[in-house]
Structure 1
Amino acid sequence: MESALPDLTHMPNLVPSAFRPTDTAPLAAPIRATHPPRILLLHGSLRARSFSRLLNEEAARVLTALGAEPRIFDPTGLPQPDTAPADHPKVAELRAAAEWSEGMVWCSPERHGSMTSILKSQIDWMPLKLGAVRPTQGKTLAVMQVSGGSQSFNTVGQLRILGRWMRMLTIPNQSSVPKAFLEFDDNDRMKPSPLYNRMVDVMEELVKFTWLTRDLSPHLTDRYSERVETAEELSARVNQKQT
């Protein structure tokens, strides 16, 4: 339940009209949607046999089995950021998919100790703000990487930083697949292994977190600083009309 408004006279930096005590009622009994969680999967390679794409395809199969609705975005033909208008067909497709989604999976190869430009370009095309809507804010995120060599966590660590920057709820678990060329059979299916099991763990956790948070996202991401800005804009408009 929402607490009574405290005495703020000793806190002159706070804007009373924008400050709200924590309301726990929406957290305790939110109105739950019943449709399958909508998960967008992005991969970071354009190779014909892309192991980040193959890992995402395996993840999509698991997501479907868990009752989610996955959608894999094909980055082929997506222009580099700032080289095309936002109404470019591939950009529009990506942004529409981002708005449709309630959670995401970002899976990139590790190249030179980092994520690929292919994956980064997809994220860069997603604006923090589109009109009055933040397309990624409050959505869940799972991060995965594939490597040609030994085990590494450089890329998933960087993806976590990006997820935080995009105001997403990145789940605790993650998947890193070393020597990925050994983990897929001739039919491009992932072989049974502890690495496969970890990927299933990640998808299972992503679906649970998406069910848990998607209906609470507006409440969880409601920010004092943005309410202050809105209050200031409203005040400016009112004062302008009065002058």
Structure 2
Amino acid sequence: MAKNKPFRLLPAASNCWTSGLALDGARALGQQFDISSNPPKVLILYGSLRKTSFSRLLAYEYARILEDLGCDVQVFNPRGKCLPVKDDTSDNDPKVTELRNLSIWSEGQIWVSPEQHGTITGVFKNMSRKSFGSFSSERRSSIPKAWTEFDMVEGLTDELELPVGRLKASSFRDRVVDVAEEFFKFMVLLRGKTDFLVDRYSEREEKKLHGRLLAQAEKEDNAPTNK
């Protein structure tokens, strides 16, 4: 999965604002939980196929911040051989397998998508159907007119041969750091506690009755009907 690190800067762009941010509390938390021996695994997704995609550039900024905090970060590339639209045969597509494997590998995920008609893009919705099921598209943080908030680095491309740009200093950039810092803290604090936190009464009762959790189709078949 080393190929999923296109956010790492080339030598020509060594002046990186994400290095050495004043995130001492988050770093101390990482040291307290000894993440150096087992770095938190983070998957970052972006929902745009444009050559100059500001969602991609923002995804890279998140990746740099989280890697600087000690995470193992992978960014999924929806370009190249694009994800097929979900149908009866798409589950065996290599790109779908790659996304699912990354999703299983990850402990936490950052999702970055342009807004189209008030919601996430079709590219992102297609990714969600492959691995994540339904989810809320409520905004956590947004950058309006994102094309005005990046400085493009002339003559520089990433490992995918796509244009590189850096987020300008602004309150929006500060908010990006806020989100990354909060995400990191919660991810570290929740490590080892997920089984307890997702232990639900209804599922325990279902296992008692059936010996396992039922698939949704089985639940619908067993549901009482109103007469």
| 1:44 is the counterpart of 2:41 | no
Corresponding letter in the other structure for 2:64: R
Q: How does 1:155-170 map to 2 (within 5 A)?
A: 158-160=136-138
Structure 1 runs of 4+ with >4 Å offset: none
- Aligned equivalents of 1:223, 1:90: Cα separation in 2: 33
Does residue 99 of structure 1 match 2:104?
yes
TM-score, scaled relative to structure 1:
0.64
For the aligned residue pairs, the C-alpha RMSD in angstroms reads: 2.2
- 1:212, distance to aligned residue in structure 2 (A): 0.7
CA contact (8 A) 1:63 1:203 kept: yes
Equivalent residue letter for 2:87: D
Hey, what's the Cα distance between the residues in 1 that align with 2:211 and 2:194? Answer: 24
CA contact (8 A) 2:45 2:75 kept: yes
Take 1:54 and 1:83, find their aligned partners in 2: how far apart are those partners?
33
Give the paired residue count.
Answer: 165
TM-score for the superposition, normalised by structure 2 = 0.68
2:74 pairs with 1:71: yes
Aligned with 1:191 (options 136, 158, 168): 168
Within 1, Cα distance between the matches of 2:72 and 2:89?
30
Of the three residues 181, 194, 198, the one matched with 2:147 is: 181
Q: Name the aligned partner's letter for residue 120 of structure 1.
A: K
Distance in structure 1 (CA, Å) of the matches to 2:58 and 2:132: 26
1:127 offset after TM fit, Å?
5.0
Q: Give the equivalent residue in structure 1 for 2:185.
A: 208
Counterpart of 2:167 in 1: which secondary structure? coil
Quick one: which of 62, 77, 80 aligns to 1:59?
Answer: 62
- Kindly, what percent of the aligned residue pairs are identical? 44
